[in-house]
Amino acid sequence: MKQKYNRRLFIKFIAAFMGLLFLGLWQRMVDSKSKNEIKKPVVVPLAVLTGVNFFDDFIVIKKDDQFEVLSSKCTHLGCRIDQQSQDKLMCPCHGSSYKLNGQVVTGPAIKPLPQLAYQINTDQQTLTVEL
């Protein structure tokens, strides 16, 4: 009788261990894939217009000769911001809006839009944004 309990307990222990192993493998696989897949930077022409320019994953705001690149992903749940009204960036999903420097004006978002790093290449007249 005692042996039966020991075997069952042992198998359950092995199953739990394999479960943890599997979780670890899963984590490893996902981490490895995302590490090896670097998001390519996006290149846009430098001649964007003064004001707000919407691209897929980012927004380029040009004032005089200064650039500012903000992520276009709303910090609430990630909807793409593609509208502007009265110097505010508006998210179409749940009503969040931001100032042109990324600060939140109305929620439900609370974090400001992150600024993205960019490089200007004057020879080729391009702006490269790191995502």
Partner 1 sequence: MIKPLHKLITKTTFGQLSLALLIICVVSGIFLVVPYNVNDAYGSISFLMLTNPAASLFRNIHFWSAQFFLLFTVIHLYDHFTRKKAIKLNMALWFRLTIGVLIIFLAMITGFILKGDADAGQAQRIFSGLVTRIPLIGEMIRQTFLGDGESLQFIYVHHIATFTIFIIIVVMEHAPTIWPRLRDFVITMTSILILSVLLMAPLHDGLSMVVKGPWYFVGFQEILHLITHPGYSLIIVLLLLFLLIMVPLSRNNGWLPKRLLLFFTLVYLFLTVIGYFFRGANWQWQWPWKSNEISAVYNPVETADWQVLGLFSKTSDTLPEVILGRNESCLICHQGMTGFSKSHNPQAVGCYSCHGGNPFSRDKEASHHGMRLIPGNLADAGQSCGTTQCHQQITSRINNGLMANLSGMISVDRFVFDEIASPDELTSVDELHHSPADEHLKNMCVTCHLGNPKRETGPITNESRGGGCLACHLNYNEADSSLSHLAIDRKNHPDYLKNHPSIDLKVGNNHCFGCHNRSGRISTNYEGWHETLLNPDELPTKHSYRIIDQTRVFTYIQDDVHHKLKMDCIDCHNSYELMGDDTRYAHQEQQVDIACADCHRNKADRTVTYAQLDQESALIAGLRYANIANRVFLTTEKRNKALINTEVRNDTMWMHGKNRDTVYVLRPPNAVCTYGKAHHEVSCNACHSAWAPSCIGCHNAYDENEPGYDMVKNLEKQGSWVEFVGEYNAGLPVLGIRKTASGQEIIPVVPGMVLTIDLASYTKDQHDSLLFKRLFAPAAPHTTAAKGRSCVSCHNNSEALGYGKGILTYVIDEDKGFWKFNSHYKNNSHDGLPEDAWVGFLDDRKGQVVSTRTDVFPFSVDQQKSILTLGACLTCHDEKSAVMVQSVVNFDSLVKTISLKCILPVW
Distances (CA, A) of 87 to 29, 63, 90, 97: 44, 12, 10, 10
Nearer to partner 1, 46 or 128 (CB): 46
The C-alpha atoms of residue 16 and residue 11 are separated, in whole angstroms, by 9
Residues touching partner 1: how many (CB under 8 A)?
Answer: 36
96: tokens are 């969040």
Residue 34 CB, nearest distance to partner 1 (Å)? 6
| Exposed e or buried b per residue across 78-98, where buried means at least 16 C-beta atoms within 10 angstroms of its C-beta | eeebeebeeeebbbeeeebbb
Site for partner 1 contains 34 (CB under 8 A): yes
| Identified binder of partner 1 from the candidate list 4, 33, 66, 122, rule CB under 8 A | 33
Site for partner 1 contains 49 (CB under 8 A): yes
In the range 65-124, which residues lie near partner 1 by CB under 8 A? 65, 73, 76-80, 82-86, 90-95, 97, 107-110
> Under the rule (CB under 8 A), what is the footprint of partner 1?
26-27, 30, 33-34, 37, 47, 49-53, 64-65, 73, 76-80, 82-86, 90-95, 97, 107-110
